[in-house]
Amino acid sequence: MTGLTAAVATLGITAGLAGCGAESGSDTVTLKMVAADYGDSPANSTQKYWDKVSADFESKNPGIRVDVDVRSWSEVDAHVAALVKKGEAPDIAQIGAYADYAAQGKLYSADDLLSIPVQADFLPALSEAGELRRVQYGMPFASSTRLLFYNKDLFAKAGVTGTPQSWTELAADARKLKAAGVKYPFALPLGREEAPAETLMWLLSGGDGYTDNVGTYTLDSDQNIKTFKWLRDDLVGKGLTGPTAPGELDRQDAFDAFSRGEVGMLNGHPTLMKQAEKQGVEYGMVPLPGVNGKAKATLGVADWMMGFKENGHKEEIGKFLDFVYDDENVLDFSERYDILPVTSSASDAMADEPEYKHLREFLEELPDSELYPVGKTSWAQVSASIKKEIGKAVRPGGDPAEILQELQNEAVAAESAE
C-alpha cells in the first residue's frame, strides 16, 4: 500500500479551516483535521466514519469540537502541503507521509500527544517506520499488505493446477492463461498510481529492495537489475502482461479488469476482495513467489496520522487521538474498508473473530512485511521519480540497469540534500 496500500471521493473544504483553530465558544477548542478518503463512492466515504468518531468524542469531551475535512487520495497530500505552506496547517492530518513535516520541526512527537498505553500498542514495525532520527512523529493509522490474487475460473479454463511457487512457475502459468485467451495473464501495474508498491513487491520477490539493512538506497543493486530484466524479458517481452503497457497501467485499472474477469493474476491488497466479490469473481490468494521459492518479504503499506504544532492544541489533539486509537474505532474502520489495524490489541481481536477471517492471510503477512523507507525525507522525491520512470525499464528495448542507476543517483542526491 504504497503503500500500504485507497480510493476516491472528494468533498468540499470545511469553512474556516484556515487560521489557528476556530473557537466555537469561549471555553471550546475546535480542532481542524484533514483526512484521506478510503471509500470508493460517496455512499461509503470516510467522511461518514469521521463524523461518527467526532460526534462520539465530542459527547464525552464537551470542551472540544473536531471538524474533519475528507479529501481524495489524489489531492489530500498536496492539499495539506498547500495549507502548511500558507501557514494554515490543520491541527491533525491523516495522509501518506510525515517525514518532511517532522524534519521541518512542524510536528508534535508521538510522546507529546499519546498516552503511554496507546503509543505502546502500535505494532513495533509500524512504530519504527514512523520515526525520524529515532523519534516517532508519524503515528500509523491504517495498514495493508499484498498478496497474489488469481482468478480460479480462468485458472481452470487454462488447465492451471495449483498456484505458482517460483518465478518459473508463474511465467509458465501466465503462458497457459495467454494460450487460453485471457486478456491479462499477469497484470503488471507500473503506472503512476502505485508504481512504487508494485516495484517494491518485485524487488522483495527478487531478494532485495529499495534499501539495505542500514537504510542506504540500493535501487541499482545487481539483484534488482536482474529482477527487472526478468520482468522485461520473461513477462512483458513474452506478451504475458496484457494489451496495456505496464508503465501506462494504473492499479485501479488493473483491479477493475480483474473484477471484470479479464485478469489471470495480479498483486492486490484487501480492498480488491470486496470489489471482485461484487462482480462474482471467484478468486484465491497466495504470497507472491520469489525467484526459487518464497519471497524475501511482502510489501507492507502504512498511512500516517500526525499532529501539527502551529495552533498549539497539544492537549486536545492528544485526547482525540487516544480516542481514535480505541479498539472499537480501529476495528470499525478496518471492517468498513478491509484495512488492517495498526495496534496489537486490535490485531489480536481481529485474529480471534470469525467476521474478519477474510483478512487473516493479510494479517499474517504484516509482522514480517517491509515498508517504504518513509522515515527518509528524500522518499517523497524518490517515489515520484519511480512513478515517472520505472515503467520504461520493462518496455521493449528498455534498459533496467540504466533506469535503476538513474533512480539510484537521484536517491543519493536527494538523500545528501536532507
φ and ψ at residue 29, rounded to 5 degrees? -105, 130
In this structure, the answer to whether residues 52 and 157 fall within a common structural domain is no
C-alpha distances in angstroms, 330 versus 3, 40, 122, 134, 324? 19, 19, 12, 26, 7
Give domain status of residue 16, yes or no. no
What sign does the CA torsion over 313, 315, 318, 320 have?
negative
Give domain status of residue 20, yes or no. no
Secondary structure class of 125 (helix, strand, coil): helix
pLDDT of residue 25: 47
pLDDT in tens, 46-70: 999 999 999 999 999 999 999 999 9
With vertex at residue 144, the alpha carbon angle to CA 126 and CA 414, rounded to the nearest 5 degrees, is: 60
pLDDT of residue 86: 96
* Boundaries of domain holding 77: 29-143+301-362
Please tell me the pTM assigned to this model.
Answer: 0.81
Q: Tell me which residue has cell 489557528.
A: 20
**Residue-by-residue DSSP string for 357-385:** GGGHHHHHHGGG-B---TTSTTHHHHHHH
In this structure, the answer to whether residues 38 and 185 fall within a common structural domain is no
353 pLDDT band, cuts 50/70/90, is: confident
**Of 351 and 196, the one with more pLDDT:** 196
Region of residue 176 (left: phi > 0; alpha: psi -120 to 50; beta: else): alpha
pLDDT in tens, 252-273: 899 999 999 999 999 999 889 9
Query: Residue 26 above 70 pLDDT?
Result: no
Give domain status of residue 231, yes or no. yes
In this structure, the answer to whether residues 200 and 163 fall within a common structural domain is yes
385 pLDDT band, cuts 50/70/90, is: very high
pLDDT in tens, 163-174: 999 999 999 999
Please report, for the domain that includes residue 161, its CATH number: 3.40.190.10
Residue 155 carries which DSSP code? H
Q: Picking from 20-34, 97-111, 242-256, which range would have the lowest pLDDT averaged per residue?
A: 20-34
pLDDT of residue 368: 78
In this structure, the answer to whether residues 270 and 192 fall within a common structural domain is yes
Report d(CA 199, CA 176) in Å as an integer.
24
336 touches 271 (CB < 8 A): no
Range list of β-strands (E), 41-125: 64-71, 92-95
pLDDT of residue 364: 85
φ and ψ at residue 186, rounded to 5 degrees? -135, 115
In this structure, the answer to whether residues 261 and 319 fall within a common structural domain is no
Total domain count for the chain? 2
Q: Picking from 300-304, 308-312, 380-384, which range would have the lowest pLDDT averaged per residue?
A: 380-384
pLDDT in tens, 389-398: 999 999 999 9
Q: Picking from 68-72, 180-184, 346-350, which range would have the lowest pLDDT averaged per residue?
A: 346-350
Query: Residue 3 above 50 pLDDT?
Result: no
Q: Tell me which residue has cell 513467489.
A: 289
Range list of β-strands (E), 152-299: 184-186, 263-268, 283-286
Give domain status of residue 371, yes or no. no
Bridge partners, 144 (sequence order): 301
pLDDT of residue 67: 97
pLDDT in tens, 86-121: 999 999 999 988 999 999 999 999 999 999 999 999
In this structure, the answer to whether residues 162 and 286 fall within a common structural domain is yes
pLDDT of residue 20: 41
Find the mean pLDDT for residues 122-141.
Answer: 93
Give domain status of residue 3, yes or no. no
418 pLDDT band, cuts 50/70/90, is: low
Find the mean pLDDT for residues 281-294.
Answer: 93
Give domain status of residue 236, yes or no. yes
Query: Residue 22 above 60 pLDDT?
Result: no
Region of residue 162 (left: phi > 0; alpha: psi -120 to 50; beta: else): left
Give domain status of residue 126, yes or no. yes
41 pLDDT band, cuts 50/70/90, is: confident
In this structure, the answer to whether residues 42 and 162 fall within a common structural domain is no
What mean pLDDT is reported for the chain?
90
